[in-house]
Amino acid sequence: MKVLAIETSCDETGIALLDCSGGLRAPKFKVIKNLVASQILAHRPFGGVVPNMAKRDHLTAFPVMWEEIIRDQSGKDKDAAKALMKKIDFITVTVGPGLEPALWSGIEFAKGLAKEYKKPLIGANHLEGHLYSFLLPGEKMDSRLRGNDRKGVFPAIALIVSGGHTILLRMESFTKWKQLGETRDDAAGEAFDKVARLLELPYPGGPEIEKLAREGNPNAVTLPRPMLKEKNYDFSFSGLKTATLYYVRDTAGLKITNFGLDSQAVLQKNQSRNVNKADIAASFQAAVLDVLVTKTIRAAEQVEARSIILCGGVAANTALRDALSAAAKKAGAKFFVPEFKYNLDNAAMIGTAGYMAYLRKKKYPLKANGNMGI
């Protein structure tokens, strides 16, 4: 099946074309085109994503990206769009979770196309997109995932770590899972972003912290490992963020002020120059990774998982990929992670979720649902 996928849940506008086959048991995907327009630079001065600005920028990006897809696939003549759409079996669009104004812009755009070209429109769950993104092909893709040999994947433990979510799932198959735990407050990516702001690093903070952490000592600052010892599979990162804040304040003797989008406490401009940011970044990252890896492995051992799947924006963190990969190996489980280009929000992953929803006859309402779960 040829699928046109659209993603606008946050600050990336995504349009992708995929070939999907294999059915629910052995889904296979070929990415024909995957366009992503990032709004990071537009939101950076605000230290986070401004929802209505995200919506406006999605609306500006659509015509340009749509034009590019048509030209690339179908040429320049006046019926090029029609010719392209003739080959499409259905359109899929993210309906949640995410920022509702941003989600609506994609939904309306998709509805317009579906109506104009008389195509079915399937709602897709953004989190399922992250979950299936390890199935998108790439050079380093595990050979087991290329063909139909999907034995040895399930039961699996999946860790979804993004800017909005930290979720542990036990998966029996590609379509059957149970949520074991989630964060009780901040998501892991959110904690990265907030600590980055504290250290006066640009948004999004995850990649900045990771870069800085490479030069720092992860044992320099003693930080808590929240909920590490608790026997459940929930997480909490808000206390770790606050502990980092207090460390910075007390060590540097600085005054903390409130400003920015969510009144997040941050240091007054340029005051953090007296603290060793690299050591703080490395120590903070080590604490987050310690909790994520330990709890994921504990879950994998408990359910005797055959594999561990890591996904979501924070899965772009090399230190996390390496640590979880090594721990999985030690625990005797296979380790799957998406190609780097599919970790952050993109429409190719929404194509995978749309295909699975289509086959499962799962009909998510075609309206924005900011708090949708998995």
Of 162 and 236, nearer to ligand KG4 (C-beta) is 162
DSSP string, 38-53: E-HHHHGGGTS--HHH
Applying CB under 6 A, the site for ligand KG4 has a residue count of 20
Its sign, for the CA torsion 323, 316, 296, 154, is negative
Rounded distance between C-alpha atoms, residue 344 and residue 336, angstroms: 16
Per-position x/- string for 10-39, each x denoting binding to ligand KG4 as judged by CB under 6 A, each - no binding:
x-----------------------------
For residues 159 to 198, the per-residue mask of contacts with ligand KG4, x marking binding by CB under 6 A and - elsewhere, is ---xxx------------------------xx-xx-----
- Tell whether residue 206 is a contact of ligand KG4 (CB under 6 A): yes
Tokens of 332: 């005797």
Report what 316 binds from ligand KG4, Zn ion, none; CB cut-off 5-8 Å by kind: ligand KG4
Q: How far is the CB of 129 from Zn ion (least distance, A)?
A: 7
Q: What angle do CA 210, 216, 221 make, to 5 degrees?
A: 105
Cβ pair 346, 14 in contact under 8 A: yes
What does the block give as tokens for 180? 């074991």
Phi and psi torsions of 158, nearest 5°: -110, 135
Task: Give whichever of 205 and 351 is closer to ligand KG4, judged by the CB atom.
Answer: 205
> In whole angstroms, how close is the CB of 117 to Zn ion at the nearest point?
27
| Residue nearer to ligand KG4 on the CB measure, 53 or 254 | 53
Q: How far is the CB of 164 from ligand KG4 (least distance, A)?
A: 4
Of the pair 70, 349, the CB lying nearest ligand KG4 is at 349
Q: Which does 344 bind (CB under 5 to 8 A by kind): Zn ion, ligand KG4, none?
A: ligand KG4
Q: Does residue number 317 form part of the binding site for ligand KG4 (CB under 6 A)? A: yes
DSSP 284-331: HHHHHHHHHHHHHHHHHHHTT-SEEEEESGGGG-HHHHHHHHHHHHHT
DSSP 8-state secondary structure symbol assigned to residue 340? G
Based on the shown chain and the rule CB under 6 A, indicate whether residue 312 belongs to the binding site for ligand KG4.
yes
Residue 193 contact partner, candidates ligand KG4, Zn ion, none, CB within 5 to 8 A by sort of partner:
ligand KG4
Alpha-carbon gap, residue 61 to 64, rounded angstroms: 6
Burial of 98 (0-12, 13-18, 19+ CB in 10 A): buried
Coil, strand or helix: which one is 271? helix
**Which residues would be at the binding site for Zn ion (CB under 5 A)?**
162, 345
Interacting residues toward ligand KG4 by CB under 6 A: 10, 162-164, 189-190, 192-193, 204-207, 210, 312-314, 316-317, 344-345
